[in-house]
Amino acid sequence: MSEDSDFEKFQDALAELLASGLTQAQILETLKTDSRFDCYREYVDSFEPDMVAVACELMGRWAKRKE
């Protein structure tokens, strides 16, 4: 089985974090410090807090978890 790519690891971590139910401040802090986001560090550092809040709300409203 092949090793997960950076893109796969990044997307899995981002979805998990946004759907985690953590507070917005905790999510923003995790985005800044968690090594799973290092491969796209410059991109993640440019995330706007308002938009991260929207992403969390979208997750809460529409996301269906895998069974």
Partner 1 sequence: MLTVPGKKPKLGLSLMPSEDFREATQELFAIDKVEVVEWSFDFALTGAEVDVWSAQILDRFSAKSALLGHGVNLSTLSARFSERQEKWLAYTRSEFESRRYVHASEHFGFSEAGPIAHGAPLAVPMTAESLKRGKEMLKRYADAVQCPVGLENLAFAFCMEDVKRQGEFIDQLISAVDGFLLLDAHNIYCQVENFGVSERELLDSYPLSKVREIHLSGGSWSFSESGARLAVRRDTHDDAVPQEVFNIATLALKLCPNIEYVILERLAYTMMEPEQQEGFREDFETIVEILELCYV
Q: Where along the sequence are the contacts to partner 1 (CB under 8 A)?
A: 5-8, 10-16, 18-19, 24, 40, 43, 46-55, 57-59, 61-67
State how far the Cα of 44 lies from the Cα of 27, in Å rounded to an integer: 12
Residue 52: CB minimum distance to partner 1, A: 7
Nearer to partner 1, 33 or 48 (CB): 48
d(C-alpha 4, C-alpha 45), whole Å: 23
**CA nearest neighbour of 64 among 32, 19, 21, 33:** 19
Closest CB to partner 1 among residues 33, 67: 67
